[in-house]
Structure 1
Amino acid sequence: MYSQMLCGLCQNRQVLRVGSFFATSFIRAIRFLDKYWSLLCKDIRSGTVDARVTDPSVREAVMKIFKPDPNLADFIEAECTKDSWKGIITRVWPNAKYVTTTVTGTMSQYIPTLDYYSSSLPLVSTIYTASEGSFGINLNPFCKLSEVSYTLIPTMGYFEFLPNRGNNGVINSISMPKTLSKEEQQQLVDFADVKIGQEYRVGDVLRVAGYKNNAPQFNFLCRENVVLSIDADHTNEVELQNAVGNLFPFDARVTEYTSYVDHATIPSHYVLLWELSVPPSVFEDCCLTIEESLNFFYREGRASVKSIGLLEIRVVEIGTFDKLMDYCISLGASMSQYKTPLCVKFEPLIALLNSRVVSSYFSPMCPKWVPGYRKWNNTN
């Protein structure tokens, strides 16, 4: 990252776009610049590469385009030492036309941060891909973020679609074999036969938005099977993200967050771990707002059955989620594919997060709950 940032800075006026596949990686790069700009300016001023970059081939590649530039170093230093980093991207890379990164689904939480750093440059999500391969492309890259859809390309892979309960279904690629029951095999539909408005899964949850000729177009909704659950409650990442979005009246700017169920208490309770900026006086109100935004069964468990304990917010040190990313990568996660998990169940990750907690707050009362609504409303 240091070498890439160094090259990007020394060619700052040639850079026409900035970004990375996921918003989390790109924001981390901006934080990296915030941490190391002084060292980077020193190298730009002298035309050297810091000794901590030890790979000979990397050093050789950087030096091919590198030369001393004191004026550029002074310019970058002047921008990085200003009181605010608002618009730092367009200030350091003045010819950048857009930010390319994935901001659909729960990645939308990073839009305000990206807008802050980029002076609201267009955010462009160009391709839908996964570890197994590329699935589709965004044919209208400058559309509204709420309208982003990806056209699945028939020549990129073979797909089978398995409708499921109601409006849900499952999408399976031939590269991701799954043992299906005889009944499920009879329900499979072809690539061109999926229905507009229905939802399907491929590790992610997708909704069919339309067609381009005979190729379906999908909206990305969320990851599959990211669920917090204690009793009858099942909270997926979309619901959790929507609940966090309801904190805007408190001027809460959530930088990063994740969650887990703490079974060490009786009854068990939801724990949200956040890097966030909120006035201390409103933390308890934030807890209650989150609870009142969750589904009927969660609120029933809290207010009536008493099977769910008080929701807890634990505030962690700045940089905790960088540490989480580093640890996941050390276990084999891909740097380019990494996304902050919105729910953690792996005990070493929970231990890492809890080791950096600086304060915690609980909901001051039970959320509102009206008996009988489950018959027609099982979401809110």
Structure 2
Amino acid sequence: MILRFGTSAIWRSIPASFPSPEQRWFHLYIGKKPVMFPKSKDGTPMGPLTQISSAVSYSMVLKTLMSTFNTVPLDLIERIADSTTSIFVQLVFVLAVPNIFSYTIIFAPAFIHTIKIIEEYFEEMSLCISSANFDHSVFIRDNICDLKFKVELNRALNEVTIEYGGLKYRQERAEHIRKECLRKNEPGILHRLWPTLAFASTTIGASFTMYKNEIKYYCGDKLPLINMLIYCGSEGFYGSLASIHTNEYFLSPISTFFEFIKEEDIHQSQPKTVLISEIMPGNRYELVITTEAGLVRYRMGDVIDCTRFLSRADDLIPLPAEPAEIPRIPLISVAYRVGSLLDVFGEKTTEQHVMHALKETVDQWKNQGIYVDLCDFTAYTKLDDFPSKYVIFLELTNEQGHEIDDQQLQILQNSADSEVEQQLCSANDSYQLNRKVHKLGPLVCVLKIMSSQSIPIYRRPLFSTSTVHDDLFDNYDIVIIFHSSQNFSKMNTIGYVNPYFVATIDDQISFTSTSKWNDEEWIIRNIPRNAKLLVKVCNKNEKGSDDNYIGEFEILNIINYDAPPNGHIIIDSYGQHKGHFHLSINSKKSSNESQQLPRYTFDGPCRYSRYDFLPINHHTERIYSTWT
């Protein structure tokens, strides 16, 4: 019944010229095989509410029905373990369909994330569609090894497109996608990709209001953006959408028993509650629910606005034609949650979670003899990275009487990401789960050490969208000079070592040297400030067999690099020291020109090599790039 109310609100408000709801919808589906869910002691599957359709056994009829109306069979999605790969596959399927009627993603940050993926990978997506072959995708090549499963995905994609015209249609559709995605900085990408799209839907109330303008930009003027159809949580269903023109919901007392705490009493440990018949328009209340079974009573943390009572003039739901007394039905909207949130996939990281993680990390540093205090912080979700990640701008001050030296600063910069991440995983189980399955990428900390008299530079709001602090998340141009290596341990009985190295930045750009190098210079533009350099050193085997691995080292802070006096220690797989490596790095903020380039752009130098073309005995020169 809740679903019927919400559906009625949508279709009563949309013009008759829009397509019928019998067309396919797109609902981003996050699922996995039932056997992959952790179980409670009594065998109950545990996981986020968004994965309930995987955890709970549906009848085959219902599952087939869901797959028919969605753009991709659900059993295929459940077999893709990597989250970003799963999203990519689902987006390819929905892009292959020209006339979906709805585009629905539960959480607003995840909604934006899907658009970012389309903008970044539309060329790969177009190739997959035109050929009905997912091998054009780097995600598929890297994360799906089962050849039979790839064949199944390709067959399913081909079957989706056959009803629209097969090969000719696929080529035309792929060209349309390319054309629209190349129109950079133009609003309405969703409407342009699917002109008959009836509406887009995501959670845009409460703390998600901050994302509304960005999502409306992607929708454009012609595509309605509406709040989520159902107001619900893991504890139960609370209500249904009242109108597409507001964020209001009907509460559903038949599925949940509601109580309400007045806003001024929220911070009390045992506040008094009022019933649904006692709340009044113009006031705010924290929601308290008791489940249908009556076993558990929850303080939800959701603070709602009682906006008004339903009246005949509202025309929100069908009312009796004959005059009748209308029940006292309150309409509500979600105002905010108690405690600010970072929330991409429902992990609901609060300010308290982050504060706990930072305080625990600072205490660990003090135990190591690095005496700093937490001054302030700002955090946001970076949605244009794949996968999305948290970024925390962290201000520290020197504890009175203790100055941080360069070595201690290096320790802080090298350890902040991993230590804050570990503490945040400990504080928030849902965040830990999303990190474990790679739905969220590793957290990034940007450190600033202040004197005790300094004014904090990273100010409120503590939590924000990806656009607010992009000026602080600068990109850089760097010059790396690989000087030399020395002091190698013996690799064979005569002690001969013929070393070369493989340097990689963030698995995005790499270089393999020759066995002789001296002050090699490499220039890379437009790298993120949190980029990491990994250098692996190997011994070249001239006899043609496999080369020997010597060891490696990693530089976690390229931008603020400070070369160790004795060089970097090369460490092998067993933690043994195998030699030293010397390099230097110079960096500067990317210019406006550099920022227009793709990330990790190689900018020289190019090398020239000579080779003989034996059939005509002619010497030629060719340019080759040594950084790939």
8 Å Cα contact 2:286/2:301 also seen in 1: no
- 1:81 maps to 2:182: yes
* 2:329 counterpart residue number: 215
Indicate how the Cα distance of structure 1 residues 48 and 192 shifts in structure 2: closer, same or farther if over 3 A, else same.
same
Tell me the distance in 2 between the aligned counterparts of 1:27 and 1:111.
10
Tell me the distance in 2 between the aligned counterparts of 1:47 and 1:111.
34
How do residues 38-187 of structure 1 correspond to structure 2 at under 5 angstroms? 38-50=123-135, 52=141, 55=149, 61-66=156-161, 67-68=166-167, 69-84=170-185, 86-120=187-221, 121-125=223-227, 126-143=229-246, 148-161=247-260, 163=261, 166=264, 168=266, 187=272
Deviation at 1:70, TM superposition (A): 1.0
8 Å Cα contact 2:107/2:202 also seen in 1: yes
Q: Deviations over 1:189-210 (max 9, x none)?
A: 3332233313113232223223
Indicate how the Cα distance of structure 1 residues 82 and 195 shifts in structure 2: closer, same or farther if over 3 A, else same.
closer
SS in 2 for 1:200: strand
* 1:329 counterpart residue number: 434
SS in 2 for 1:193: coil
Q: Deviations over 1:1-26 (max 9, x none)?
A: 223212211112x1233231121111
Indicate how the Cα distance of structure 1 residues 104 and 275 shifts in structure 2: closer, same or farther if over 3 A, else same.
closer
8 Å Cα contact 1:138/1:150 also seen in 2: yes
SS in 1 for 2:197: coil
Amino acid at match of 2:224: P
Indicate how the Cα distance of structure 1 residues 366 and 84 shifts in structure 2: closer, same or farther if over 3 A, else same.
closer
How do residues 22-41 of structure 1 correspond to structure 2 at under 5 angstroms? 22-41=107-126
Which of 440, 443, 454 pairs up with 1:353? 443
Deviation at 1:330, TM superposition (A): 4.5
8 Å Cα contact 1:259/1:270 also seen in 2: no
* 2:519 counterpart residue number: none
8 Å Cα contact 1:127/1:136 also seen in 2: yes
Tell me the distance in 2 between the aligned counterparts of 1:154 and 1:274.
36
Indicate how the Cα distance of structure 1 residues 332 and 72 shifts in structure 2: closer, same or farther if over 3 A, else same.
closer
Bigger radius of gyration: 2
SS in 1 for 2:192: helix
Higher helix share: 1
Amino acid at match of 1:114: I
Which of 191, 203, 209 pairs up with 2:301? 203
Indicate how the Cα distance of structure 1 residues 223 and 122 shifts in structure 2: closer, same or farther if over 3 A, else same.
same
Indicate how the Cα distance of structure 1 residues 215 and 328 shifts in structure 2: closer, same or farther if over 3 A, else same.
farther
* 2:376 counterpart residue number: 270
Q: Deviations over 1:238-296 (max 9, x none)?
A: xxxxxxxxxxxxxxxxxxxx9647443754322113468xxxxxxxxxx9xxxxxxxxx
SS in 1 for 2:254: helix
Indicate how the Cα distance of structure 1 residues 2 and 223 shifts in structure 2: closer, same or farther if over 3 A, else same.
same
Percent identity over paired residues: 20
Tell me the distance in 2 between the aligned counterparts of 1:94 and 1:259.
42
How do residues 297-312 of structure 1 correspond to structure 2 at under 5 angstroms? none
How do residues 361-380 of structure 1 correspond to structure 2 at under 5 angstroms? 365=455
Gaps of 5+ in 1: 171-179, 228-235, 238-257, 277-286, 288-305, 307-313, 318-323, 341-348, 368-380
Indicate how the Cα distance of structure 1 residues 331 and 157 shifts in structure 2: closer, same or farther if over 3 A, else same.
farther
SS in 1 for 2:211: helix
TM normalised by structure 1 equals: 0.57
Gaps of 5+ in 2: 1-86, 288-299, 311-326, 342-349, 363-370, 383-392, 394-399, 401-412, 418-424, 458-628
Tell me the distance in 2 between the aligned counterparts of 1:58 and 1:151.
41
Tell me the distance in 2 between the aligned counterparts of 1:259 and 1:272.
10
8 Å Cα contact 2:207/2:340 also seen in 1: no
Tell me the distance in 2 between the aligned counterparts of 1:81 and 1:208.
44
Tell me the distance in 2 between the aligned counterparts of 1:90 and 1:6.
17
Tell me the distance in 2 between the aligned counterparts of 1:165 and 1:137.
23
Amino acid at match of 1:223: R
Tell me the distance in 1 between the aligned counterparts of 2:126 and 2:262.
56
SS in 2 for 1:194: coil
Tell me the distance in 2 between the aligned counterparts of 1:17 and 1:6.
16
Farther off after superposition, 24-33 or 117-126: 117-126
TM normalised by structure 2 equals: 0.36
Higher strand share: 2
Q: Deviations over 1:321-342 (max 9, x none)?
A: xxx9996425579x8xxxx9xx
8 Å Cα contact 1:3/1:62 also seen in 2: no
Indicate how the Cα distance of structure 1 residues 127 and 365 shifts in structure 2: closer, same or farther if over 3 A, else same.
same
Tell me the distance in 1 between the aligned counterparts of 2:181 and 2:279.
50
Indicate how the Cα distance of structure 1 residues 160 and 19 shifts in structure 2: closer, same or farther if over 3 A, else same.
same
8 Å Cα contact 2:263/2:285 also seen in 1: no
Tell me the distance in 2 between the aligned counterparts of 1:217 and 1:159.
14
SS in 2 for 1:204: strand
Amino acid at match of 1:40: M
Indicate how the Cα distance of structure 1 residues 130 and 3 shifts in structure 2: closer, same or farther if over 3 A, else same.
same
Tell me the distance in 2 between the aligned counterparts of 1:75 and 1:194.
52
8 Å Cα contact 2:263/2:286 also seen in 1: no
| Residues paired across the two proteins, number | 267
8 Å Cα contact 1:210/1:217 also seen in 2: yes
